[in-house]
Amino acid sequence: RVPYAEQTEAHYDAVMDLNARSVLTASRKAMPWLKRQGGFIVNTSSIAARNGAGGGAGLYGSAKAFVSNVTRGMAKELIGFNIRVNAVAPGTIATPFHERYSTEEQMKGMVATIPQGRAGTPEDCVGAYLFLSSALLSGYITGQVIEVNGGQLMP
110: phi then psi, degrees, rounded to nearest 5: -65, -45
Decide if 86 contacts 143 (C-beta within 8 A): yes
Contacts of 71 (CB under 8 A, 6+ apart): 41, 43, 45, 85, 86, 87, 143, 145
Alpha-carbon distance of 64 to 49, in angstroms, equals 5
Q: Which of 4, 12, 60, 101 is catalytic?
A: 60
Q: Is 60 a catalytic residue?
A: yes
Q: Is 69 exposed, middle or buried (0-12, 13-18, 19+ CB in 10 A)?
A: middle
Report, as residue numbers or ranges, the catalytic residues.
Answer: 60
